[in-house]
Amino acid sequence: MSDMRFIILGIVLIFVGFIILGVFGHEYQAATLESNEFGTCYEYFDNKPPTKINCSFKIMDQTLFFVLILAFIVLGIISLIKGIRGNWDNKVKPEDRVGPSKD
């Protein structure tokens, strides 16, 4: 028998990781392209013209974002594995059981 708490937690963590990647990921894709193709990076604003910034800062932000997403997904996978292999539900003491007994 598996531990459903870890399985549900794993599914939620993986789902959250992919949702965050899908919603906010487009903002962090441009740093690599700007750096490789043009050598200069710009920070874009809605109400003022773009400003030139150091590409290493933009790539650092991109790396931290993807590490965060990767952490969510890896923790979800670990939780799924622990839930599938777990046996916490089987180790309930007889005096802690709730419901009709077989006596």
CA quadruple 72, 29, 39, 57: dihedral sign: negative
pTM: 0.71
Domain edges within the chain: 4-86
**Residue 62 · residue 53 · CB < 8 Å:** no
* DSSP calls for 16-33: HHHHHHHHHGGGGSHHHH
pLDDT in tens, 40-79: 888 888 899 988 888 888 888 889 999 999 999 999 999 9
